[in-house]
Structure 1
């Protein structure tokens, strides 16, 4: 029953692969599988990670996961517009690179960080990290990092767990300063990966967890979806093992005595756990997969740091996002209440604003799945936020800050605007497409070009559908109205104010006597000057 629902709603051809082929697929490397395959696999096989309750509950749970996934929403939107030409199920614009941020033909080499970058370069990259990354993803002790940098380049020691943090910071510095990948960035990532893989089996420390959080954050902005999700789950399990999510006076690690935790350390733990949960939740939502829940965890917002810290602002959304877990039933009234609460929050830094927009669009997708249309002030507030997010995406593009939402949010805004399909929403489409075009020019990758082309395809499909609808209305008037045919005989184009001024002139030249007769027959319409109304409509 469950699998059948997926095939019907997403228009899959139902078939069962041979057992040998399925085994080969599972044995393949995650980095060798495309984002399209990742998405289709995760969304098509919900039943692998879900219980099988009654049929009604089954349908409801599937619908919830479908609504949480941006890929599924895009697919359903396109199918509703034009089933024959809709693009396939795929995570369009998930990030700017989709796993392609690498140096062509270069094989990364893991080596000590002191042989990759000099101390001066490391300090410069750390400055970039603090200015662009740490402001919204603040989960390191800045003073401690500065001290570690000084000590690491003064002594020739073997690389330890903290080197994974230094490599992650340096790689992020390159990512946020170089639009073209450099080989040193790839060496830093490979070095961090090998350190984390080796030390994660030996000890579970705060340093190891911080290194994994940096790794997942980097992968969310550069890697393919499946690989990033797997890494985020590993990160969450390590947090569970380190017990960083449990706020007690002492934290007892395996095979070690309880260590006293002061308030400064507890505050750092809250930031680490908060960013980790934020990453895992949204990765799971996007792919339609299970997230890793930390038991016995009480979410507590960290205290805002002075001088440009927006991490707490970002994490304020996290409890609201977790309340939309697919396993939990959410009523219509609760969805509307959540939407109002998200819209009422004050977000200032562009990455935080785009995270707020992402949460807003998730709720809009859930409402859309319930066939609820936004109207009135609520719709105005949503459109105000989407417009603000487009400006934020452009600001991050100008600053060479390739957060994953730089491409993702503008693309999803296009989809939401097409779904809303009101004059105000359609009026904002141009800005959304322009922002996507600028992103594609600034970061000319396969992922950004694909996102722009797909967005334009969706707009074109909507246009063709409107043309067909307008032609049907024109045919009705042509067949049954007492007036001359209200369309241009030379072009046979539907006379809609959205068309060119030349088409509008055809209406302006039409005899409106039949409309005047209509007014005389219907008292409620008296007082309207239809000739003036039509002329104003074409200006």
Structure 2
């Protein structure tokens, strides 16, 4: 081999993989350096390949332990049984879809929703609740008609709402360019107020979406103006599906804004349907393809006219929303075949320096997508992914919640595989859970209704009950206090249900503990002590609680529920 021959690497960068080119493995690699492409490596894929290589070497060696051989034989037999049994295969697919779902995890712990054979997953803490609860807004919604944004709010109001958006939403969802939006605002209100200018403009869907977020993140109660903005944006976007868009970028930006808004304000099904439609729209427009990929696109698609970085951010945001909405519902996500879009570059900070990749939500997207239930995952891969997530340091509260949500999802996957998490790793899981609870309190005080402020406290509570050690049980007070803060700030049916369900789950956990204590007490009574120092003797009053549900104002009705559901006494908290 000569010095000029190209060095081969065991793993290629994402750019070389998508173009099927040889990669040197450098940073940047020689191919990317030659063509000026963004050189990026999927570290998680590297670890997966290293693990598979290690496992292959281990199998070929003569040092296999009897336990390893038995596990391999059992796995092969299970696979053969599943292939010959369609019902078992269907059950396996359902279990795979539910593997990432917080609803499925809560279902094992929550007796109220544990109906045998029921395919429906009830989501507790999906968001803080409907922004327009019925029937209060039913009459208002029926009377709303789409109107141009200049008829709904003034230019000064639009600029004020845009400032709220870029202050509170953009740091976590960075897909709208501030300078571009401000130019759109100036241009939209520049024309004289004539009948012709009052028609829908090409930017109205984006302007209405940004303004609606401004209301959402500044007022805890919805107003008729916010409803008008949302309905106008919806009408514009749905009508645009029937004709060729004047600007694919504005159309796509409007759809991303709508899906993100629905995730925080409406039901899970509506948000999931909209996120899937968004992914199909991206495919139809060819916005998932790099213009330099030389892949034939539909003639109506013009991704070349879009700024490459803007297109990458829009595609990444759409993937993020669809992945996590699908995961949490236990449903299939939309995967666009042949996508060649590169990862978005980190935005420059105000001081002109580029931040590290860990300061961007898109840095977590490769790990999130690697958790696809259709992809085979073993304990080692998941533990590597969990360590990668825990190693990241975020300081912004909204990004801490995104990180915490991903960490909880990976931990749920490990429990599905009956994995025993090591003490050090478990301590780090609890530590990040504590940071997540503090981040929720901070966002509640700022009137920032990210959907994670409802979801994370509830899922942390479920995780603490599942871990069930002294450290986790000691955190239950903080988890319930945080959930109560959210329920108090956003007094909706969804939050009341989430809080009371969490309370009931803890009551059931307490009853199981009390039954265990009675069992131990029976053992001690059957075996009386011969000689126990007086200072170590435990009186009966020390092990019995003097508190009942009647001691907690507002929750005395739970006593009636427990009486009406006697089977809860023997409920298995692990669902086994």
Write out aligned runs for 1:160-239 (5 A).
160-204=201-245, 205-239=248-282
| TM-aligned CA distance change 1:424 to 1:298, over 3 Å | farther
| TM-score between both structures, scaled by the size of structure 2 | 0.72
* 1:106 equivalent in alignment to 2:148: no
Alignment partner of 1:64 out of 68, 90, 96: 96
Contact 1:81 1:461 in 2 (8 A): no
Return the alpha-carbon distance in structure 2 between the equivalents of residues 484 and 460 of structure 1.
36
Return the alpha-carbon distance in structure 2 between the equivalents of residues 252 and 334 of structure 1.
36
Contact 2:99 2:373 in 1 (8 A): no
* 1:340 equivalent in alignment to 2:387: yes
Per-residue CA shift, 1:23-64, capped at 9, x if unaligned?
xxxxxxxxxxxxxxxxxxxxxxxxxxxxx9554654443322
Counterpart residue number, 2:76: none
Counterpart residue number, 2:450: 403
Per-residue CA shift, 1:219-267, capped at 9, x if unaligned?
00001000110001110111111111111238987444856457xx111
Deviation at 1:434, TM superposition (A): 0.4
Deviation at 1:405, TM superposition (A): 0.2
Secondary structure, aligned partner of 2:99 = helix
Counterpart residue number, 1:277: 319
Secondary structure, aligned partner of 1:106 = helix
Counterpart residue number, 1:305: 347
| TM-aligned CA distance change 1:332 to 1:299, over 3 Å | farther
Per-residue CA shift, 1:381-407, capped at 9, x if unaligned?
111100000111111111111000011
Return the alpha-carbon distance in structure 2 between the equivalents of residues 273 and 341 of structure 1.
24
Per-residue CA shift, 1:56-83, capped at 9, x if unaligned?
6544433222221111110112359999
| TM-aligned CA distance change 1:311 to 1:231, over 3 Å | farther
Deviation at 1:472, TM superposition (A): 0.7
| TM-aligned CA distance change 1:259 to 1:361, over 3 Å | closer
* 1:241 equivalent in alignment to 2:284: yes
Return the alpha-carbon distance in structure 2 between the equivalents of residues 368 and 125 of structure 1.
43
Counterpart residue number, 2:374: 327
Write out aligned runs for 1:21-40 (5 A).
none
Deviation at 1:371, TM superposition (A): 1.8
Counterpart residue number, 2:74: none
| TM-aligned CA distance change 1:259 to 1:242, over 3 Å | closer
Counterpart residue number, 2:509: 462
Contact 1:69 1:287 in 2 (8 A): yes
| TM-score between both structures, scaled by the size of structure 1 | 0.76
Counterpart residue number, 1:33: none
Secondary structure, aligned partner of 1:365 = helix
Q: Gapped runs of 5+ residues in structure 1?
A: 1-51, 502-539
Contact 2:108 2:114 in 1 (8 A): no
Secondary structure, aligned partner of 2:276 = helix
Counterpart residue number, 2:333: 291
Contact 1:418 1:426 in 2 (8 A): yes
| TM-aligned CA distance change 1:260 to 1:80, over 3 Å | closer
* 1:448 equivalent in alignment to 2:489: no
Return the alpha-carbon distance in structure 1 between the equivalents of residues 358 and 168 of structure 2.
12
Aligned positions, number: 441
Return the alpha-carbon distance in structure 1 between the equivalents of residues 386 and 295 of structure 2.
37
Secondary structure, aligned partner of 2:543 = coil
Counterpart residue number, 1:29: none
Alignment partner of 1:315 out of 362, 365, 368: 362
Per-residue CA shift, 1:6-38, capped at 9, x if unaligned?
xxxxxxxxxxxxxxxxxxxxxxxxxxxxxxxxx
Q: Gapped runs of 5+ residues in structure 2?
A: 1-81, 192-196, 548-576
Two-structure CA RMSD over aligned residues (Å): 2.8
* 1:121 equivalent in alignment to 2:157: yes
Per-residue CA shift, 1:437-470, capped at 9, x if unaligned?
0111111111111111111111111011000101
Contact 2:284 2:301 in 1 (8 A): no
Counterpart residue number, 1:151: 187
* 1:473 equivalent in alignment to 2:520: yes
Deviation at 1:375, TM superposition (A): 2.9
Return the alpha-carbon distance in structure 1 between the equivalents of residues 451 and 358 of structure 2.
16
Counterpart residue number, 1:136: 172
Contact 2:213 2:261 in 1 (8 A): yes
